[in-house]
């Protein structure tokens, strides 16, 4: 468990804390920002989510800088991303801030790619995150953060940024899933 892997694991440990602030209806009032209002506990949940998401960049930076890239890290990093994003999306559906059909599409891709990685691991291969997969993750994070913040500050400008970002996340997620399977179809063919 080197430093980058510990940072990755901290992302997983933040998930229950994030979910408590997101889903427990604390009566802490609301914060008004740029003519928009956010329940205080959702604002705290958004901050925790953003901090946890930033650990994705931090662990990758240290893994490359300190030459500590490991197979465990290649497996754990995208898994931690998936767990955080899955928890957030399910919470947003529960709060009726995201449509279930989009979340189902996004999560279906995540499970399918995880399944592909498991097949590869069974054959002794490791599928590292691709550039498209990393882009997909960051667009998902931006969309989720915007939804958690109830589209503030864009509500003041009457711009549905959170909805547009979720559409973009859904489209790029589906495309990146197709991309993973096309680039790694040899793994499925080999495992017959």
Three-state secondary structure call for residue 81: helix
- For the entire predicted model, the pTM comes to 0.89
pLDDT of residue 144: 98
Instruction: Give me the DSSP letters along 51-77.
Output: HHHHHHHHHHHHHHHTT---HHHHHHH
Digit-coded pLDDT (tens) for 30-60: 999 888 899 999 999 999 999 999 998 898 8
Cβ(77)–Cβ(132) under 8 Å? Answer: no
Measure the CA–CA gap between 83 and 53, rounded to whole angstroms: 11
pLDDT of residue 119: 85
> What would the two tokens of residue 186 be?
């040899």
């Amino acid at each position: 468990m080197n430093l980058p892997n510990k940072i990755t694991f901290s992302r997983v440990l933040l998930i229950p804390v994030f979910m408590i602030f997101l889903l427990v209806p604390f009566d802490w009032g609301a914060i008004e920002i740029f003519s928009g209002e956010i329940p205080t506990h959702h604002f705290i949940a958004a901050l925790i989510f953003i901090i946890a998401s930033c650990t994705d960049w931090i662990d990758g930076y240290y893994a490359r800088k300190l030459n500590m890239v490991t197979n465990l890290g290649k497996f754990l990093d995208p898994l931690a991303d998936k767990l955080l994003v899955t928890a957030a999306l399910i919470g947003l559906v529960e709060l009726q801030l995201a449509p279930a059909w989009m979340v189902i599409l996004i999560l279906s891709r995540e499970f399918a790619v995880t399944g592909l990685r498991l097949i590869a691991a069974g054959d002794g291969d490791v599928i590292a995150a691709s550039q498209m997969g990393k882009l997909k993750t960051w667009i998902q994070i931006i969309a989720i953060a915007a939804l958690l913040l109830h589209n503030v500050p864009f509500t003041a400008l009457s711009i549905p940024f959170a909805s547009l970002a979720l559409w973009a996340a859904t489209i790029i997620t589906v495309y990146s899933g197709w991309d993973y399977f096309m680039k790694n179809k040899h793994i499925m063919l080999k495992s017959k």
